[in-house]
Chain A
Amino acid sequence: MVNPRRLKALIVKEFHQIVRDVSSILICVVLPTVLLILYGFGVSLDFKNMKIGLVMEDTAPDAQSFVKALVDSRYFNVDIGRDRKRIEQDVVDGKLLGMVVIPSYFSQFRERTDKIAPIQVIADGTNPNTASFVQNYVDAAFEGWLQQQYYESGWRGQLLIDPQIRYWFNESLDSRYFILPGSLAITMTLIGALLTALVIAREWERGTMESLMATSVTSSEIMLGKLLSYFILGMVSFILSIFFTIFAFGVPLRGSLLALMLSGAVFLFTALGLGLLISTLAKNQFVASQAALNAAFLPSYMLSGFLFEISSMPVPIQWMTYAIPARYFVSCLQTLFLAGNIWPLILKNIAIMFGIALIFYAILVKKMVKRLD
């Protein structure tokens, strides 16, 4: 049974506390902004201006022309030298991420029967990810150069296929475009699960929960009071983050705002369910924050596809991601921001999130007893 007067009183109380408590304002307004700025400017999964060295042992026109292609590439910041020793030392010192050696017999490759250009690429393997980027980008640059040779002089090298690559949805392959929408899921997880679990644990710690319980307030009213208050807060924060993503970082919103709000609301509902569930088990703030971090924040961070592609995870871990509500929300977000209203996908994701939420609330109703033991 829910009495509207008591429910209203609980929500009013909650907002008085939110206004007075710096930490909830921090989590709702400052944290999303900081996260967006971090992900917008700080985290970038693509590489631009990688510092590499280039040893030119051949100075023939062909070699010159290839060097120009490398230097013009926006992926590289090239340090050109003649002395292999010096460049090598810079790689060893970590000043350069790798080096390319154009041997003295480079120009002769047109005459070779296998037509393979003998350039050497050395990458700093201490950071394997970057190393493979260096290698791939040099490869790509060489292929590009070969193509150019073909168009300019009709000379056909080893290249047999001429792929014309276009990237859909994220034309310039800007990682910001998929990270920023994804980070909204993190913000919502923090508000829904962490903040909610914390504020309820605080009521246990300070003994206010005990006082409330001894009044005629029902436990549904207590839970609903928290749910509605933090739902409102979470949506405000969501809207704020969307605004930043679109206007401050220029990420396009190709789907409808309505679909975005709908999926956000359903995800928040799910996250709140998890937060409330944690709070019925964790009665002090330390345990609550640990539980929320492990049960909500970390899975959302690592297993939602927000930073790490799910399809490249080991299969058992891929299975695990199906249980993570954030996975479905991240998929909604990335679709709505970058692709548009693909309703079948969006509705399916929303339905799954809603299903998970129902499980949470079913457990919650069972666990929720107005009693201390």
Chain B
Amino acid sequence: MKNGAALPIIRIDDLTKSFGKEEALQHLSVDLPKGQIIGLVGPDGAGKTTLIRLLAALMLPSSGQITINGFDTVKEAEKIHNSIGYMPQRFGLYEDLTVMQNLVLYADLNGVMGEERKKVFEQLLSFTGLSPFTKRLAGNLSGGMKQKLGLACTLIRKPDVLLLDEPSVGVDPISRRELWKMIQGLAAEGISIIWSTIYLDEAEKCSRVLLLNEGKMLFNGPPSEMTDKMKGRVFLVPKEKRADLVEIVNREDVVDATIQGADIRVVTKESHPFAKGKPVKPRFEDAFIDLLGGSPKGKSKLAENAPEVANDHEFVIKVENLTKKFGDFTAVDSISFQVKKGEIFGLLGPNGAGKSTTFKMLCGLLKITSGKATVYGKSLIDAPAEAREHIGYMAQKFSLYGDMSVLQNLQFFSGVYNLEGEKQKTAIEQMIEIFNFEPYLDSPAKELPLGYKQRLGLACAVMHHPEILFLDEPTSGVDPITRREFWNHINGLVEKGTTIIVTTHFMDEAENCDRIGLIFQGKIVTIGAPDELKKKAKTEQNPDPTLEDAFIYLVEGHG
């Protein structure tokens, strides 16, 4: 379809898609040019997956029209399937087939045979770096390698349009960077790419961005158009204590403020320079927050209600030579660290590095092979009940009872944490007031908007006022406003002496930590404050590395 070069390759005209009463996409109209990387950006529930499925002709629009390459997605689905490559969110690989068997299947399905197939396989395997693993089962690949294999399968017959649904979710920064390089190469060959993502920093790398929020398009254009608006409005201010953040956020002239290592990153209203602030380059997220009307203000009522943690152990958690083996495989290899009272300690590392395993051992969910992990000097293995009384746990995925109402979840979890009678009643009432659950009390938890699910998860974890809070990727996929609200609560709790341990892929979240333990291949590569890690990664080529740069630099063996 070379004659279509002048025309937009994708044309969306007044597209609406509803599921029952809920409108997942509302009156979307946009033309997308050929041969570009188009970022489909927005938090979970924005309508990204729905839009991609509509583009892939796997769903019918409720109203409106989509054409790809001139073909209508409703009437000419077959022609569209012949000209697109689509990678769904969950890899779409046969995990019980080997890498090669997956490739052969898709080659057969696409009619790529004989000499051509040999050439294509060779290219794709070297392109993805999967050559040494052709006999490995796809299910045994790491998250990043799965995505690369998924990509290879969709690229067997070169598509005109490549639709990628959140290809970087669950992929560590190193693999993310490699994926980006691959995609940029493909765009250079003239393939049009739709890359959907929840990571706002990825938006900046796209040539064009469609910003979606709650089914509406907030922005369509080159990302620089967004960030340019923020020029001269972003500053770094040294942080003395966490409470400074609340103070700054609540100022009239401030749109947004977040902790960034030892500093606070401040975004101000137009033509309101921040005194004493060091001007820095704006980011896509700054513009997004500005577009949404700024960060939520006010102090955390949750923290205000929480009692001061009276315990005066200096070290709350001590980990000594902690090791976990699964058969021959050592998932965690003799790691040691200590977490101080009232500290936010982050565990960072690529997929399969041993983060989650460490985390699960600390919470007493996995048995320790050797070594020691204690909470207030008590072993989680020997005295789990006593040790756990001080702990609150918020799991990565929404792990509440979806069929139970909000109130029932609150009642259940307060009961689990031994709250009874008057105490339980007050705790529940407090949570309802703090998180505004009133209108949702009788709704089943699974039907809540995503932001409320996240709030409910936090509420259930903190109702019993734990002194230590474990957070497993707490705000993954959550919109930036809810994320700010969440960290406002966490920062407030820390001020009261609560200790936080968090695992995360989000560099934004990592910036909130006092110290970060970087785990790689089961070992701790380095422990330090975010700024210390960044300092270590300073090179001539990169004098001002981001935390992500530092992460990659240190994991690649420079630690």
A216 touches B88 (CB 8 A): no
Residue from the set B58, B97, B150 with the largest chain A CB neighbour count within 10 Å: B58
A215 touches B97 (CB 8 A): no
**Which residues of chain A are near B85, meaning CB under 8 Å?**
214
B101 touches A16 (CB 8 A): yes
Mark contacts of B67-85 with chain A using CB atoms, 8 A cut-off: 1 yes-contact digit, 0 otherwise.
0000000000110011011
**Which residues of chain A are near B91, meaning CB under 8 Å?**
206-207
Our pick among B90, B97, B108, B110 for the contact of A207 (Cβ within 8 Å) is: B90
**Which residues of chain B are near A320, meaning CB under 8 Å?**
none
With both beta carbons as reference points, the residue of chain A lying nearest to B62 in the complex is identified as: A373
With both beta carbons as reference points, the residue of chain A lying nearest to B19 in the complex is identified as: A373
B94 touches A207 (CB 8 A): no
A216 and B163 alpha carbons, distance in the complex (Å): 15
Our pick among B60, B84, B95, B111 for the contact of A214 (Cβ within 8 Å) is: B84
Q: Which one of A3-11, A100-108, A272-280 is at the interface?
A: A3-11
B94 touches A5 (CB 8 A): no
Known contacts A6-B108, A16-B101, A214-B86; A208 and B92 CB within 8 A of each other: yes
B53 on interface, CB distance cutoff 8 Å:
yes
- Closest beta carbon of chain A to B165's beta carbon, Å: 9
- Closest beta carbon of chain A to B88's beta carbon, Å: 4
- Closest beta carbon of chain A to B403's beta carbon, Å: 14
A370 touches B111 (CB 8 A): no
With both beta carbons as reference points, the residue of chain A lying nearest to B58 in the complex is identified as: A372
B178 on interface, CB distance cutoff 8 Å:
no
A13 touches B86 (CB 8 A): no
A372 touches B101 (CB 8 A): no
B60 touches A215 (CB 8 A): no
Which residues of chain A (301-354) have a CB below 8 Å from chain B? Answer: none
- Closest beta carbon of chain B to A214's beta carbon, Å: 4
A9 touches B77 (CB 8 A): no
A371 touches B101 (CB 8 A): no
**Which residues of chain B are near A373, meaning CB under 8 Å?**
19, 59-60
A211 touches B58 (CB 8 A): no
With both beta carbons as reference points, the residue of chain B lying nearest to A13 in the complex is identified as: B105
Our pick among B88, B90, B96, B104 for the contact of A21 (Cβ within 8 Å) is: B96
Mark contacts of B85-125 with chain A using CB atoms, 8 A cut-off: 1 yes-contact digit, 0 otherwise.
11111111111110001001110111100000000000000
A9 touches B96 (CB 8 A): no
With both beta carbons as reference points, the residue of chain B lying nearest to A370 in the complex is identified as: B77
Chain A interface residue bracket vs B: 20 to 34
Known contacts A208-B92, A214-B84, A216-B81; A8 and B58 CB within 8 A of each other: no
Residue from the set A211, A217, A370 with the largest chain B CB neighbour count within 10 Å: A211
With both beta carbons as reference points, the residue of chain A lying nearest to B88 in the complex is identified as: A210
Determine the main DSSP class of B at the interface with A: mixed
A215 and B88 alpha carbons, distance in the complex (Å): 12
With both beta carbons as reference points, the residue of chain A lying nearest to B86 in the complex is identified as: A214
A370 and B88 alpha carbons, distance in the complex (Å): 15
A169 and B346 alpha carbons, distance in the complex (Å): 77
A207 and B82 alpha carbons, distance in the complex (Å): 19
B88 touches A20 (CB 8 A): no
B111 touches A211 (CB 8 A): no
- Closest beta carbon of chain B to A96's beta carbon, Å: 51
A6 and B82 alpha carbons, distance in the complex (Å): 14
**Which residues of chain A are near B57, meaning CB under 8 Å?**
214, 371
A9 and B106 alpha carbons, distance in the complex (Å): 8
Our pick among A20, A211, A370 for the contact of B97 (Cβ within 8 Å) is: A20
**Which residues of chain A are near B97, meaning CB under 8 Å?**
13, 16-17, 20
- Closest beta carbon of chain A to B205's beta carbon, Å: 25
B109 touches A214 (CB 8 A): no
B92 touches A215 (CB 8 A): no
**Which residues of chain B are near A10, meaning CB under 8 Å?**
105, 109
A50 on interface, CB distance cutoff 8 Å:
no
B153 on interface, CB distance cutoff 8 Å:
yes
Mark contacts of A202-230 with chain B using CB atoms, 8 A cut-off: 1 yes-contact digit, 0 otherwise.
00001110111111111000000000000
B56 on interface, CB distance cutoff 8 Å:
yes
**Which residues of chain A are near B88, meaning CB under 8 Å?**
207, 210-211, 214
**Which residues of chain A are near B90, meaning CB under 8 Å?**
206-207
With both beta carbons as reference points, the residue of chain A lying nearest to B101 in the complex is identified as: A16
A8 and B104 alpha carbons, distance in the complex (Å): 12
A8 touches B82 (CB 8 A): no
- Closest beta carbon of chain A to B108's beta carbon, Å: 3
B58 touches A13 (CB 8 A): no
**Which residues of chain A are near B53, meaning CB under 8 Å?**
372
**Which 7 residue pairs of A and B lie closest in terms of their CB atoms, listed nearest first?**
A211-B92, A9-B108, A214-B86, A207-B90, A210-B88, A207-B92, A372-B58
6 sampled A-B residue pairs with Cβ under 8 A: A13-B97, A20-B97, A206-B91, A211-B86, A212-B109, A371-B57
- If A13-B101, A16-B101, A214-B84 are given as contacts, then 5 extra A-B residue pairs at C-beta distance below 8 Å, sorted by A number, are A206-B92, A216-B81, A371-B57, A371-B77, A373-B59
